[in-house]
């Protein structure tokens, strides 16, 4: 499996074989560590995770001023962490706390200087800066490859195409340097290219495998539908970093009829969090690298839909410990997985807190609830829901060619009201198409009214 995952340098066309061999050496070492973790018995793996957590907390206490101040303010000391049950005694870290402080306050000066500077997109406000050690990036690449191996079911797909965020401080830009250990430079394209150029690349290369973002592939699917085109060469389509709504998924499946869709759950702050099982819809938590909790609005563990809280066990430069700033909602999957892999699974990632609807009675409706209801309305090609006030919405929508415009509009308003259970006022705006704003790669499907949005 090791050699299957990382082909010899001679098989990857590049003018700099020595640099490639060095990169592959790092990747192979990371793969060895990840494969060794996979072979551990559950008791040994659990102990290793516990020791990683204890070491991370003790190091953050002694070397990261932000954590020491936060924990002291809540009466916490590392000596209080004696068992897994004690993790809830650690205060959760919110994104706004990182935004407001100088980034050095949340860095380990002993390792941060040599680490890479990555930043979140800032889609929910100003970006958060995370210094990330190269070793943690190599570990993420190795775990991604292991997930890919499972999706391919032992049959490698050599003809690949990636549409990535090339922004200098994005985590994908950092990972792209490592992708070059197994992927030719010409197969790494910008997700910001015009959709016409993206589809032209798909037509030219006829890839077996595409990896990109849901928004990118959804835009491409809409373009292909307008052109009456399909891409039947693609057998595996990997989506990451964002959620895809049911309407978008249907459109992508129509555009790529032979492709199997798989997803991974990643974040700049925590790396690879979970990946979709090769045999089902749930997501296996990458528990050797991260700890995942799901908590309710009061911060208590829950089996219902709740906020995702993560701890990154592999990066000490900017430690991420009980971080609730991803602002995502998810729910645990119940029972064992049919694939036989042990460990926790996420049933679904329900969307982001900043895209959830908040109503006057305090009820919160996740993007998954809203987009599922709207996606079920026949005749809808594209949409964007904007919350202008607690009970007032604008719904931008594009109708399919044969749709009855009046019936579509009334059905969309009814679908929204079925979710909110309130007498909302919804003004439907008819559009020919809905494009991303300049400099953006995606159109947020839901824009809500959140007090903490900046």
**Which candidate, 367, 360, 378, places its Cα nearest to that of 330?**
367
Q: Say if CB 377 and CB 412 are below 8 A apart.
A: yes
Query: Which residue segments constitute the domains of the chain, with CATH numbers given?
Result: 356-447 (3.30.300.30)
* Sign (positive or negative) of CA dihedral 370, 374, 375, 376: positive
Find the distance separating the first CA and the last CA of the chain, reported in whole Å.
46
Structure confidence at residue 12 (pLDDT): 42
pLDDT in tens, 297-318: 889 999 999 999 999 999 999 9
**Which candidate, 353, 239, 333, 338, places its Cα nearest to that of 292?**
333
Structure confidence at residue 333 (pLDDT): 95
pLDDT band at 18 (very low <50, low <70, confident <90, very high): low
> What is d(CA 169, CA 221) in angstroms, rounded to the nearest whole number?
28
Does residue 39 carry a pLDDT above 70?
A: yes
pTM of the model: 0.86
Mean pLDDT of 199-220: 94
pLDDT in tens, 339-390: 999 999 999 888 777 677 777 766 677 778 888 899 999 999 999 999 888 8
The mean predicted confidence, pLDDT, of the chain is 87
Structure confidence at residue 7 (pLDDT): 47
């Amino acid at each position: 499996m090791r050699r299957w995952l990382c082909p010899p340098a001679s098989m990857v066309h590049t003018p700099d074989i020595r640099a490639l061999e060095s990169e592959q050496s790092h990747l192979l070492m990371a793969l060895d560590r990840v494969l060794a973790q996979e072979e551990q018995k559950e008791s040994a793996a659990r102990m290793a995770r516990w020791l990683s957590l204890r070491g991370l907390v003790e190091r953050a206490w002694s070397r990261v001023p932000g954590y020491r101040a936060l924990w002291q303010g809540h009466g916490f000391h590392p000596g209080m962490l004696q068992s897994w049950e004690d993790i809830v005694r650690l205060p959760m870290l919110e994104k706004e706390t990182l935004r407001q402080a100088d980034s050095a306050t949340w860095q380990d000066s002993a390792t941060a200087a040599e680490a890479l500077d990555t930043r979140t997109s800032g889609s929910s406000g100003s970006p958060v800066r995370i210094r990330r050690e190269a070793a943690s990036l190599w570990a993420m690449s190795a775990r991604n490859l292991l997930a890919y191996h499972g999706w391919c079911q032992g049959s490698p797909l050599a003809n690949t195409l990636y549409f990535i965020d090339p922004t200098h401080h994005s985590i994908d830009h950092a990972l792209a340097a490592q992708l070059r250990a197994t992927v030719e430079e010409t197969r790494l394209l910008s997700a910001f290219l015009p959709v016409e150029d993206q589809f032209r690349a798909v037509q030219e290369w006829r890839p077996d495998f595409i990896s990109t973002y849901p928004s990118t592939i959804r835009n491409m699917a809409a373009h292909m539908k307008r052109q009456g085109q399909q891409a039947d060469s693609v057998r595996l389509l990997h989506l990451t970093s964002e959620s895809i709504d049911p309407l978008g998924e249907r459109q992508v499946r129509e555009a790529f009829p032979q492709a199997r869709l798989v997803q991974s759950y990643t974040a700049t702050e925590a790396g690879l969090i979970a990946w979709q099982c090769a045999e089902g819809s749930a997501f296996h938590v990458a528990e050797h690298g991260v700890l995942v909790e799901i908590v309710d609005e009061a911060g208590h563990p829950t089996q219902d839909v709740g906020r995702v809280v993560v701890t990154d066990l592999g990066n000490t430069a900017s430690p991420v410990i009980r971080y609730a700033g991803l602002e995502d909602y998810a729910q645990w999957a119940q029972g064992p997985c049919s694939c036989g892999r042990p460990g926790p699974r996420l049933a679904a990632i329900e969307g982001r807190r900043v895209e959830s609807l908040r109503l006057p009675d305090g009820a919160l409706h996740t993007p998954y609830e809203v987009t599922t209801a709207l996606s079920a309305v026949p005749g809808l090609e594209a949409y964007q829901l904007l919350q202008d006030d607690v009970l007032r919405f604008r719904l931008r929508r594009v109708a399919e060619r044969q749709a009855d415009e009046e019936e579509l509009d009334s059905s969309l308003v009814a679908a929204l009201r079925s979710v909110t259970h309130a007498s909302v006022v919804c003004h439907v705006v008819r559009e020919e198409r809905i494009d991303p704003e300049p400099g953006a790669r995606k159109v947020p499907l839901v824009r809500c009214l959140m007090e903490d949005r900046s």
